[in-house]
Copies of this chain bind each other. A is one copy, B any other.
Amino acid sequence: MQLTREDIITTAVKLLNTYGFADMTMRRIATTLGVVPGALYWHVANKQALIAEIAASFITDLDGSSTLELVANLRKILLTHRDGAELVTAALSQADSPTWTQLTEKFADALRETGADESARRIAAETLVHLVLGTTVMDQNRAQLEDLTKTSTADDADESTFADSSLLQGAEIIIAGVRQVTP
Q: Which positions in A face B, CB cutoff 8 Å?
A: 48, 89-90, 92-95, 120, 123-124, 126-127, 129-131, 133-135, 137-139, 141-142, 145-146, 149, 151, 166, 169-170, 172-181
Contact = CB atoms under 8 A, between A and B. Distances in A.
A130 B134 contact: yes
Nearest to A144: B93
Contacts of A137: 89, 93
Given A95-B142, A123-B166, 14 more contacts: A93-B137, A93-B139, A93-B145, A120-B173, A123-B169, A127-B131, A127-B173, A130-B130, A130-B134, A172-B177, A173-B177, A175-B177, A176-B177, A176-B180
Q: How many copies does the complex hold?
A: 2
Contacts of A178: 173, 176-177
Contact of A181 (B130, B138, B176, B181): B176
A176 B174 CA distance: 8
22 contacts: A90-B141, A93-B137, A93-B139, A93-B142, A94-B142, A95-B142, A123-B169, A123-B170, A123-B173, A124-B170, A126-B170, A127-B127, A127-B131, A127-B170, A127-B174, A130-B135, A131-B131, A173-B174, A173-B177, A174-B174, A175-B177, A176-B181
Nearest to A100: B138
A145 B177 contact: no
A142 to B, nearest CB: 5
